[in-house]
Structure 1
Amino acid sequence: MGTQKRIGILTSGGDCAGLNAVIRAVVHHAFNTYGWEVLGIRQATQGLMVRPPLASSLTPDKVDPFLTAGGTMLGTTNKGNPFAFPLPDGSLRDRSHEIIEGYRLLGLDALIGIGGDGSLAILQRLAQQGNLNLVGIPKTIDNDVGVTELSIGFDTAVSIATEALDRLHFTAASHSRVMILEVMGRDAGHIAISAGIAGGADIILIPEIPYTINGICQAIKQRQEAGKNYCLVIVAEAVRTEAGESVTLDSDVEQCRLGGIGQYLSKQICSRIDAETRVTVLGHIQRGGTPSPLDRLIGATFGVAAVDLIAEEKYDCVVTWQNRHVRSVSIREAILHYAAVNPEGTLVKTARGLNIYLGD
């Protein structure tokens, strides 16, 4: 048993499945192995701005019921950069000092922050400014955090997208339709290509590989000529139009919201060939639901590893999954390299080997 510590844990950015498995692992390992106290901070860094800070003591019996629950028991937010926090009058204020003060008020010896590259970058800046002891855990359904092969939430999102393709398969065949499934992924195509291969898609469109409408139509016609009366298309939300324009939704929130590429493709296909199309936008369904066994497993592994890093007083680092092992790297290294789909990588070669149209 090490020196008594009080550590905080928060989830930041968009929610995803598997976050509660991480929280549970942190609490169990810290409480049972080291005899430490764990404080759960609510609503990410915004909880540290409130006075008193929004935090409560977490014990194994409190976190155990949430293992199979989606989302995060602590709540989260992906709005409001603390270094330029929006106020009601439209002005921006640097509130970073309030977060640092909140850390001090709670008497924390260290903080575990679970987030994507954007959240980790903000947390690192806060830690450097306030000399806070920080350990990061990567989570994002997009799986685009550099140097880690897996991020919390990705496997569940792929499973949900794959199930959607499985279901669309039968109605596509029954009605002789081209079914277009639009999935999340932000700027990367990891969900689309993984679910597309697993779910038997005929066409996979990702931001990393250019395409043409004629190429898509030719792939559909080739299936028709081979006697296959339907086609499954999966497209990542960040795929651009053939002219290279980004497709976004009108929104009054501060962040740009991708969406609508499925409808664009549907109109283009219908205008060029004889094909009936239908579009399904999976959206936030990919974030919710029961976490997959792999997300729970990786979550537990990351949580235990993060606590051990605190015990070793190794801070300013992120736990990652590499070659079946957990390895820690500096936060800077983790967020420096953006992990898009490699156009020459294994999954792309696999898709092409299965005669899936990916682009021209």
Structure 2
Amino acid sequence: MSALPLTRPEPGSDAHAGSAAAAVLRQPMLWLLVALLAAGALSSPYFLSADNMANLLRQVAVFGLLALGMNLVMLTGRIDLSVGATMVFSVIAAVEIMVVAGGMLDVRMMGRGNTYVGPVAPVAALTLAVGALVGLFNGLGVACGRVAPFIMTLVTLSALRGLSYVLSNGRPYYLRSDAYRWLGEARVGPVPVAALVLLAVFAVFAWLLHAHLAGKRIYAIGGDEKTARFAGVRVGRWLVAVYVASGLCAALAGLILTSRANSVDAPMATGYELSAIAIAVLGGTSLMGGHGSPWRTLCAAFVFAAGLNLLTLHDVSAWYQDLIIGVVLIAAVAAASAMQRRGA
């Protein structure tokens, strides 16, 4: 009995569907996305334009990366509140490291007006490395330090926001290199490169969770951690791994966001962690762990970004957008709790 969670498919997953087509038709997020696209097309002549669709896909890339990392953490029954701060801190820290290294090598890295003029590839690599280190810190605190995930990642969020202000002296850094803008602005045909990056990460996560032993371990931890331990799953190592993956996703999202803005500033991405949680919950990921999928999370990211895009086109202020995000999160959590009680 103890090995059962390691071999059983995710409860309610698409593996139980009679066919792939039937499983797709039963996804409410797909129907909601179709409804939003129809509403956008009918209410605004600009919604389905090529430029707006490209902007929408870039929004999906940022929110989708955050949500995929959050989905992975939530599958274990944990949470990561630091992803928004990690997005910004990882880029600021990477720029600062390059500036310090340039000073040691007598190479100019920062130009007039806080404009970064150094090479871009090291910044991107350092950004991902810093994101992974933040995830490692969170994972070790949760797995080895036995700190509650909510407290651990909330403290990390606060610390990273403060460090971002300290490192940047409260001023923005401008990243106006064409090479840096490429990630946020370039397209392959009509599809932005950022969206292709999201699809690549999604493909890796989908394979890991549904076609690799790692997925069975992660679902087992979220489904019944005690049973997973008895079955020989090294829970601590997997918790560290999912937090590192979340940190990497946040850093990659930070690269895309700052490459679109051509700058990075400490207050950027405030509240993005709540958006990531809302998307994961909308996609059916349980806050208690053990239930969810990257496919449904990706669909929810499209719905979320399409909704925000539609609100922006209709000149709904950011204040009301934040209010709507809060209402959606509450509704999604309430609906998920009701479904779990009904299933029980």
Verify same fold: TM over 0.5. Answer: no
Structure in which a larger fraction of residues adopt strand? 1
The structure whose RCO (Cα within 8 Å, separation 6+) is larger is 2
Structure in which a larger fraction of residues adopt helix? 2
Bigger-Rg structure (1/2): 1
| TM-score normalized by the length of structure 1 | 0.26
| TM-score normalized by the length of structure 2 | 0.27
